[in-house]
Structure 1
Amino acid sequence: MGYLECENCGGRYELQEGESPDDFESCECGGKLRYVPSPVTKVKKQGMITTNKILIVIIVILILGVGITIGMLLTSKAPVTNNTTDNTTLNVNNSVNNTTKSVNNEDNEDNYIGEAKAKQVAIDFLTDRGGMETISKMSVDFVTINGVPLYRVTYYDSYVTVYGTEAGWDEIYIGAKDGKIYDDSGYMVTT
C-alpha cells in the first residue's frame, strides 16, 4: 500500500485498503503530504530466496547428472568383435574342454598346415556344398579341443532360411596337422 508523510512535522499515516494518496490534501499541522510506497515485504523477499535456492538445487542436480552420464560413457567398454586372423581368446563350450591358445606355444608347430591353408580347406568345403555365394566375413584362429589342435574358421552366412532369417555366424574346425574337417567336440567328420 504505502503511507503519507508530512514534510513539515514528519508525521506518518499508513494508507488503508481502498484509500488513495489523492484522498488527502494536507497534514493536521498544515504541512504538505508526500506519498511513500511501502517497501517490499519480508514475505516476498523470502519467496524470492526460496525460489533461488530451488533453482540452484535443480542446476546442481542437472550438472551432476550430466557429469555422471559422461563419466559412465567414458569408462564403459565397447563390445569387441573378432574379425582378425591372429586371435587369442578363451572359449568354453558346454562341458567340452575347448581352449584357444597361441600357435607359438604349441609343440610340433612346424607340422601344422597354417591359417591360410585352413581357410582354403574351409572355402573348398563350403564351395562343394554350394554355400560360398552367401559367405561374407571369415576369420581363422587356433584352438585345442579335447587335446586335438584345430583351426577354427568362423564365417558369416547371409543365406536366408525357410523361416525368413539369415543363417548368421557359423564355424568349421580344420585339423591343424591333417587339414580334415572336425566337429566342435574335436572328432573328425571327414576321412
Structure 2
Amino acid sequence: MRTRDPLKSWAHAFFYVKNDWGLIEKWGRMKDLPVPLHVGEEDILRILNFPDVKHFFIEDQKVSGEKVAVLEAENKKFWTLIAEKEAALFGLKSSRIIEDFKKSIDFKIIIQDHLQEACEHIYNVEVNALEQQYKDEGFTRGFLKGVRLVQRKAGVKFDGLTTSQASEDPSSDLDGAEIESELRQAFSSDDESIDVE
C-alpha cells in the first residue's frame, strides 16, 4: 500500500486495508502511517493495539464456544424430539397392528379354538365327576337292593320304611343321611337274623 504526504489535510482521514478474506477494514488514521511508502505487516501490527487483537480473538472464541454449546443443546433437543416421535410412531404402529389382528378372521378362529378347547376340558371334567357320582350312588343303591332282597327272603321287616324304600328300586330322592340310616338298620337286622338262626 502506498502512502501519501502526512502533512496534507486528508492525512487525518482513516485508511482501509484488505484483510486475508478480502474484506476491507478500517485500520487507523492516515497520519499514523509510517513514513515509508510501503507499509509492512509489522508496521500494521504496531499501529494496532495488540492487546485489543488478543482480546478480540478471545472474545471470538468465547462467542463461538457459546454458539457451539447452544447448537449442541438444540441438536440434543432435536434428537430427543425425533426419538420421542419415532417411539410414538412405532407404538402406534404396533398397537394398530394388534388392533387389526384382533379384528381379523384369524384372531377370531384362534379365540374360537381356545374356547372350544376350554369347553371340552370343562365338559370332560364334569362328565368324569358325574360318572364317579353315579358309580358311587349306583354302588350304594345296588348294595341297598341286595340288603332289602336278603331281608325279604329272611322275612325281616323294618319299622318306618316307606313303600318306595321297601320296593326293589329305591328312589333317587334319598340323601346321604337317609342312606346311612338304612344301612345301619340293615346291618343291625342282619345281626339279629343271624342270631335267630
**For this structure pair, what is the TM-score category when the shorter chain's length is used for normalisation?**
under 0.3
Please, what TM-score do these two structures have when normalized by structure 1?
0.26
Q: Which is richer in helix?
A: 2
Higher relative contact order (CA 8 A, sep 6+): 1
